[in-house]
Structure 1
Amino acid sequence: MKRTHLPLNALRVFDAAARHLSFTRAADELAVTPAAVGQQIRALEDMLGVVLFRRTPKGLELTGEANAGLDALRQGFLQFEESVRAMQAGQSSQSLTIAAPRDFTAKWLAPRLAQYSQQAPDVRFTLVSADGGIDFTEANLDLAIFWADGPGEHEGIALSDPAMVTVAGPASESETRIAWPGCPADEGEAALRLGDAGLAIDAATNGLGRACVPALLAAADLAAGRVRQIGEALPGKQAYWLVAPLPQWRQAKVKAIVAALSAG
């Protein structure tokens, strides 16, 4: 059965005017002008084909037609409010599914989620690999992290500037080039090729050579002294981006974790 179009804004105005029996007080409640209330009431009366208010020497009175529908209308608004609360409760579920490259999860994301969990102990995380690419239309994801030059078709925020650093073991003198898919070095010159930037950092830590990797990914190893930086950081073309389609991006739980992760 086709649903009847409901003029919800006009019905809300009618409810306020009926409670106050005054267009002026209804306007104050709704933060509009009395003229706007009157226009909404007249439009509703024209649509329904009935008169809703009568002016008397004592003020406004509801007509019989208005009284006949008022209780059901107010019950309807209560059900709308319950529906909104139910949807918000579902949206505020304490479960987050995040896709990210495995090396990024190990070296950067997991420690920060652990810190976040101390502040929000009820939050539960499901982490999946984004190494093979992610399709939000097929995966039950709240958020994804990509090594890319922008958010693409989604909403997103870069976690850092696209800076690259070359790292080597603390005492290593090896000049062997370590390459990984997507690294800016010419892989044809590399003597060692690995599956991702995290493995490249670990290889450098063990003295197997030098790796040019995202500065964000190497930050913890540099701070801990597991590797040392060679030369200055260089500008890159890609960065780690937090991304999600707009509906997910608007969720309160996603906004909270995005704020925490992008804070540094």
Structure 2
Amino acid sequence: MKRTHLPLNALRVFDAAARHLSFTRAADELAVTPAAVGQQIRALEDVLGVVLFRRTSKGLELTDEAVAGLDTLREGFLRFEESVQAMQAGQSSYSYAIAAPHEFWATWLAPRLAAFRKENPEIRYQLIAGEEVDFTEANLDIAIRLAEGPGDLEGLQLAPAMRVVVATDSAPDDWIAWPGAPLPDGAEAVLQVGNAAQALASVRAGLGKAMLPLLLVEELLADGRLKALQGPEPGHRAYWLVAPRPQWRQKKVRQLVEFLMA
């Protein structure tokens, strides 16, 4: 029998039924109905061409054919568990590969990662340049993206999608435009930049005003380094923590996400 044709689910049901010698108790363990257990056992018997259980006045009994393969089957399941544990161990619990926009790393994420590491000194970080990096190619654990939603990934929104027009106290009344923030009708930009990082750097240098995500500039507004000229107001894009489902389920990723969301 080819490996791809192994009836693994039916073998798992057989193992449970053999341990309990009861379809009902096996069903309780597997969170299915006794009828489903019976169907799996009959299907397995059809595939193998043998009878696995017989009913007696005392209840279910294993046939000689069932007993002959049971120890090896259970050893196989143990090897499966060891294999899974080995694969999980290959992903370090203390190392994070993170992709994030440069400006967001500098103003929001880096201080929080420092606080997380203060509580967990064994932690190590690797920052991957570019928020749209492929998770598989870069072996990412998690990414932060400025987007309308998580797309095909699992994700949590860090804050509501709010935006605000900001400038320094001495800045001229000139617009700085970037692709993520359309200008008001009739407004003309004196400076066109490529992303939020360049827009924020230009604002902080006193070149003019720009519309930026509130979460990006919230702390700069709070300590007076920037001032709000308009807003905050609802926007379309927010900062999202995103990852494919396998990464999202990792214990270390859940711990970091819980810390950042807190």
TM-score, scaled to structure 1: 0.80
Q: Is the 8 A contact 1:215 1:233 kept in 2?
A: yes
Which residue is 2:89 aligned to? 89
Distance verdict in 2 for CA 1:188–1:32, change over 3 Å? closer
Which residue is 1:10 aligned to? 10
2:225 maps to amino acid: R
Shift of 1:64: 1.9
Deviations 1:63-93 (A, max 9, x none): 2212211110111111122122223333563
For residues 93 and 163 of structure 1, the distance between their equivalents in structure 2, rounded to whole angstroms, comes to 34
Which residue is 1:150 aligned to? 149
Shift of 1:110: 0.9
Which residue is 2:239 aligned to? 240
For residues 22 and 177 of structure 1, the distance between their equivalents in structure 2, rounded to whole angstroms, comes to 75
Which residue is 1:161 aligned to? 160
Distance verdict in 2 for CA 1:46–1:200, change over 3 Å? closer
For residues 151 and 20 of structure 1, the distance between their equivalents in structure 2, rounded to whole angstroms, comes to 44
Deviations 1:3-58 (A, max 9, x none): 26222233223223333334444444444454444433333222212222333444
Deviation larger for 233-242 or 216-225:
233-242
Which residue is 1:118 aligned to? 118
Shift of 1:97: 1.4
Which residue is 1:184 aligned to? 182
Distance verdict in 2 for CA 1:237–1:51, change over 3 Å? closer
Shift of 1:59: 4.0
1:233 maps to amino acid: P
Shift of 1:106: 0.6
Which residue is 1:210 aligned to? 209
RMSD of aligned Cα (Å):
3.1
Q: Is the 8 A contact 1:130 1:146 kept in 2?
A: no
Which residue is 1:175 aligned to? 173
Distance verdict in 2 for CA 1:26–1:220, change over 3 Å? same
For residues 47 and 248 of structure 2, the distance between their equivalents in structure 1, rounded to whole angstroms, comes to 38
Q: Per the alignment, in what secondary structure is the counterpart of residue 191 of structure 1?
A: strand
Distance verdict in 2 for CA 1:251–1:207, change over 3 Å? same
Q: How many residues align?
A: 261
Q: Is the 8 A contact 1:91 1:252 kept in 2?
A: no
For residues 42 and 56 of structure 2, the distance between their equivalents in structure 1, rounded to whole angstroms, comes to 17
> Is 1:65 aligned with 2:61?
no
1:177 maps to amino acid: W
Shift of 1:150: 3.2
Distance verdict in 2 for CA 1:160–1:57, change over 3 Å? closer
Distance verdict in 2 for CA 1:108–1:65, change over 3 Å? same
Which residue is 2:255 aligned to? 256
Give unpaired runs (5+ residues) of structure 2: none
Shift of 1:218: 0.6
Q: Is the 8 A contact 2:175 2:187 kept in 1?
A: no
Identity within the alignment, %: 63
Shift of 1:139: 2.9
For residues 158 and 25 of structure 2, the distance between their equivalents in structure 1, rounded to whole angstroms, comes to 49
Which residue is 1:44 aligned to? 44
